[in-house]
Structure 1
Amino acid sequence: MRSNKSIFSFIAIWLCFASGNVLAQTAQDDAQLADGEAQYGLFCAECHDGALLEAPQRAAFEFYSPGRIIDVLEFGSMATSGMALTREQKRNIAYYLSGEQYDETRTEAVSFSCEATRDANSPLTQPVAWNGWGGESGNTRHQASESILNKTNVNQLELKWAFATPDTTRSRSQPVVTAEVTFIGSQEGTVYALDNSNGCPSWTFSADAEVRGAIYVDTDDEGIPETLLFGDFAGSAYAVNARTGELNWKKEVHDHPQATITGSVIAHGDTLIVPVSSLEVLLAARVGYSCCSFRGALVALSISTGEELWRTYTTEEPRPTILSTAGIQQYGPSGAPIWSSPTIDVERNLVYAGTGENSSSPANDYSDAVLAMDMLTGEIVWAAQLTKDDAWNGACSRGTPNCPEEDGPDYDIGASPILTRDENGREIILVGQKSGMVYALDPANNGALIWEQRAGSGGTMGGIHYGMSTNAEKVFVGVSDLPTNNPYNVGPAHPGVHALSLSTGEVVWRNDLPNKCEESPFLCWQGISAAVSSTADLVFAGGLDGILRAFDTEDGSILWETNTRQSFGTRNGIEARGGSIESDGPVIVNGQVFITSGYEKWGEAPGNVLLVYSLNGE
């Protein structure tokens, strides 16, 4: 039998050894945190501590996992910054920001705590009730067939179910809905097929990067889903089997390293139309960056094979122009990205696309414009430019050398053009712009102006940011008018929802929304940046303050509202939180309203949830 002395000696030795390990580990942790803080200060703080409006605020990183931060530095929007960092330095930054060590051996597979009533072997039997960005090819965002929800019962809407996406801080993917399944993308690149009865996944597909906007569903002759079509943040387009989630094909659509797909795709026949945008407008803020060489594009692919049919650029090929004041070579013309969903005019065999500003001098005639392109060839048939000489990039807001001489207003057309008819049967193309202006163009006369109306004062985030809705009588306009110190803004701000006459553009009613924001580390504003949607007598709009509202189409009065800026219980067992409602608008199907909530860019409130509301939650 051992003596007590020997036992105590063993314990003492073990305690010394253990405490030494703890002290060593603590010292190592302190060193990693110190290095992470230092690297963050060198490569990240200039933007994320408030200098760059679009960048997520420092507080948002508390919601990131360390693996997510590393992915952003290696493959995401910060990959160019990450090139200067070692893997260890990236891990240290992730540790410093998230407060959690990254485990290189950890697997990222997520298991859900609920089961769908259908699986990948179950046939799809119900037609698509809301397809793509605007619900149909004209992008009207109007659900004419809605017969359940109306102004007398909308106040009975309650939460039916919530679905949270894991390890995400923004929900910028609009759902596509049938009576039995909802298809939706996510920030971490997973596409989900959700059972509409309970919000549980029946299958998932992993894209290479974030899937923004709305998926477009190619259907059979009965409207039954066959193929899901979408793009990812890395600039690839996909075709995926709607029933099984299996990949049909994948195609990179642009050769520029900063190319991205943020707008929703659209299709007609066997032709898929893909809008191409870029991250270069942000990189231009860096003093040493050679600005700018990306040019916007619309790309047509075969739905059957993924083969490229045509590609149309929005500028000539960029060429060397001048040296910046920092002595860095500049290129131009560039930019004019397309970051909204194109609109198809079947009768004229045209596709309409709205463009953004040029990224460098000289500004050209296709920036801040609506372009009409031949569906078969991609040839530009006509162009209607709404703002001239708008060359702008991130250097202009930070006062760094790459700001072009125009230093324009940054008045992109981020809202999809709407093709519709007024009460008299006259065809109209409606265009909303970040300037706060709404335009009606004549598709029968090469985009000639029919009327124009100011809905808001305008700004870097609108004005009109992501989209309007229309019926045969009115245009429903969501206005952000978020204060961004844009010197080009005109008149008083009108954050809220407003209605214009479709025929004349005259203001029918306005509803400037009250500020209900509470104290928060994140931006809160009552404006409507996300797209709005309508039925015969209701307009639904989600705000930057996280409030989802239903308005009366006749007078603009608020009939129902709910605050999504909170935590939610979910069917799939993932922690859910709502935040700002940005970009993607409400989807209205069979008495239900689908909305995503959470957006961490521009200093807004992060979130990761899809919410479904129905009458009495049933």
Structure 2
Amino acid sequence: MRRAPGWSVVLCAAVVLGSTASATASEDVGVGRGDWPSWQGDLAGSRFNEAEHRITPDTVGGLKLKWAFAYPKTGAWVKSQPAVVGDDVFFGGPDQQFYAVDARSGKLKWRFDLTSVAPGPMDDVAFNGATGPTVAEGKVFFGDNRGYAYALDQHTGKLIWAVDTEDHPRGWHTGSPLYYQGRIYLGASSAEHGGGPDYPCCTFRGHIDSLDAATGALMWRYYTVPEPQAVGTWPSGATRYEPSGAGVWGSPVIDEATGTLYVGTGQNYSGNGGDFDTLLALDALDGTLRWKQQVTDADSWRDLCNVPDSEGYCPGLKDNTALDFDLGAAPNLFPVQGRMLVGVGQKSGVYHAFDAQTGEVRWRRQLSVPAPLGGATGIQWGSSYDGQNLYVATYFAEPGTLNALDPATGEVVWTTPNPANGCDWGGAAAYPDQCVLAHTPAVTSSPGLVYEGSTDGKMRVYAASTGEVLWEYDTVRDFAGTNGLIGRGGSVSGNGGAVVANGTLYVQAGYFPMYPSGRGNVLLAFDVS
């Protein structure tokens, strides 16, 4: 049953399981230079670890499995990109648990049960747990796909606060939070696009929230669409509302010099209005709009657009505006000739670059061509910037490709397709109907290297200078977990990407398309020692 609507806060009320930490709640060891404390890696969204010096182009070929952490079988995708601070790794599982493990051994330090805050899922939507976390102020912050936001003590896992941010029955969090100057910034999307013909579509309004990091109190909220209004009925007789949707699927970034927050939005579920498919530039302090760039003229899409004979429920099929061309990826901030640019990938396959101060278009680059799969062919969760190139991957683009772009012009420096033999070897070879040559995860980089996983179950590391594959590892196999479970890898996880911190590469394996298995999925850690 869905919770009663309204803003509610739970403080220090949950049970902590398996805690072995000795530090007190008041201690904060801080974030080290080689750590990876947030989804973006830094405030600017670079997804680049400049301090990584152990995994290099000369040593990457020696990467070996260090440990595996296995999840129980749930049927849900593993989505929570880890955060790494010092000797601790923080992540959520698809089993409604949140974990802290030792970075050296993979052994459990503490575990927090999300159902201790609220027992069940939202109506008709699977509860598969936490987003990727961010670590700051001695706390671990994350959201879940019931619409809750959390702060746990970094050292003990004790609940500091939990906030129910959603009064909509299908609102949730898919993007990860960003911490900045005592605030948490977290977007909200929803599962409402999945409603069937009898569903009164749609009433969800996307939003980006600023929360007080100490208490979870709402400081400001920016809605992406006006309040949806009843405008008639669908063919089934269900009430029709519009405009709706424009969820915030990805994570935000912040320009520290100007205090500007940048975040992208998704498509309308019904109607045509509001800030859909838009890059927003907001004042981080008060949430006022500084500028916005809407990159699609019309885009109203929900799951019924993929169902035969759904024209009456998906008007965009008639005029080709059922596109699903979200800006679901996190933006990147990067300097060019003394000006800061903000770039973002779109599910249309276009990477857009704007002047960060004015919103003026600087360049655009088409990296994949939309096919019958629509937005699934384009750019998904995020890209990386290493001070020299932008690294951008495409998804179901037949095949997906990894691209290096010149940040000044958008010119393609190199492009490397998903290796053509990806479905011919390793565990994926036994499942030709599931295996696809596609890149779901956000891209990650460190000096000289680029990291990107595939739906063929392989994790790969590429040369930043040429795009050559330097190392690959098949995750579609069984792993003995440090927690006593046997897990199995699969498609390398979206909702994030690889994490590189303090000489170790971390990879979540188990995402769409799911490979048949009676086991749960795994978090894998590799190093060159």
Tell me which interval the TM-score lies in, with the shorter structure as reference length: 0.7 to 0.9
| Deviation readout 1:48-69 (Å, 9 max, x if unpaired) | xxxxxxxxxxxxxxxxxxxxxx
The answer for the alignment partner of 1:272 in structure 2 is 184
1:210 matched residue in structure 2: 128
Confirm or deny that 1:436 pairs with 2:349: yes
1:454 matches 2:366: yes
Match of 2:441 in 1: 530
| Counterparts of residues 20-419 of structure 1 (less than 5 Å) | 125=29, 127-128=31-32, 129-169=35-75, 170-208=77-115, 209-219=127-137, 226-283=138-195, 286-361=196-271, 363-398=272-307, 399-400=309-310, 401-405=312-316, 407-419=321-333
Q: How many residues align?
A: 486
Letter in 2 for 1:188: D
Q: Using the TM superposition, give the Cα deviation of residue 469 of structure 1 relative to its aligned residue in structure 2, in angstroms.
A: 0.6
Residue 160 to residue 352, structure 1, CA distance change in 2 (3 Å): same
The SS at the match of 1:444 is coil
The answer as to whether partners of 2:48 and 2:445 remain within 8 angstroms in 1 is yes
Find the counterpart in structure 2 of residue 610 from structure 1: 523
Cα distance in 1 for partners of 2:188, 2:475 equals 31
Once the 2 structures are TM-superposed, how far is the Cα of residue 376 of structure 1 from its aligned partner? 2.0
SS in structure 2 opposite 1:612? strand
CA separation in 1, counterparts of 2:315 and 2:265? 18
Amino acid corresponding to residue 161 of structure 1 in structure 2: W
C-alpha separation between the residues in 1 aligned to 2:267 and 2:182? 31
Following the alignment from structure 2 to structure 1, what is the Cα–Cα distance between the partners of residues 97 and 432? Answer: 29
Any gaps of 5 or more consecutive residues in structure 2?
4-14, 116-126, 424-428
Distance 1:110 1:461, change over 3 A: farther
1:582 paired residue number? 493
After TM superposition, the score normalised by the length of structure 1 is: 0.75
Q: How far off its partner does 1:496 sit?
A: 2.2
Give yes or no for contact 1:141–1:468 (8 Å, CA) kept in 2. yes
- Checking the alignment, whether the CA contact within 8 Å between 1:126 and 1:180 is kept in structure 2 is no
Q: 1:280 to 1:480 in 2, by over 3 A?
A: same
1:183-229 per-residue CA deviation (whole Å, 9 max, x = no partner) reads 1111122111101121011111111353343201113xxxxxx0111
Quick one: distance in 1 between partners of 2:415 and 2:280?
30
Q: Is the 8 A contact 1:522 1:605 kept in 2?
A: no
Shift of 1:344: 1.3
The correspondence for 2:462, drawn from 551, 564, 587, is 551
Unaligned runs of 5+ in 1: 1-73, 77-108, 220-225, 483-492
1:146-169 CA-partner distances (Å, limit 9, x unpaired): 111111111000000001122334
Q: Distance in 1 between matches of 2:162 and 2:220?
A: 17
Equivalent residues of 1:365, 1:385 under 8 A apart: no
| 563-572 or 257-266, which deviates more | 563-572
Q: Which residue matches 2:400?
A: 495
Paired residue type of 1:419: L
Q: Tell me how far 1:342 sits from its aligned partner.
A: 0.9
Q: Deviations over 1:378-423 (max 9, x none)?
A: 122211111120011111111434223464210111110111224x
Q: 2:509 aligns with which of 568, 593, 597?
A: 597
CA distance in 2, matches of 1:309, 1:535: 35
In our comparison, the structure showing a higher alpha carbon Rg is 1
| Native 8 Å contact 1:120 1:202 kept in 2 | no
**Distance in 2 separating the partners of 1:308 and 1:124:** 24
CA deviations 1:240-265 (Å, max 9, x no partner) are 11111111111111210100011101
Report the counterpart of residue 58 of structure 1 in structure 2. Answer: none
Higher normalized helix content (fraction of residues): 1
Equivalent residue number for residue 12 of structure 2: none
Q: Give TM-score, length-normalised by structure 2.
A: 0.87
Deviation at 1:179, TM superposition (A): 2.8
Amino acid at match of 2:471: W
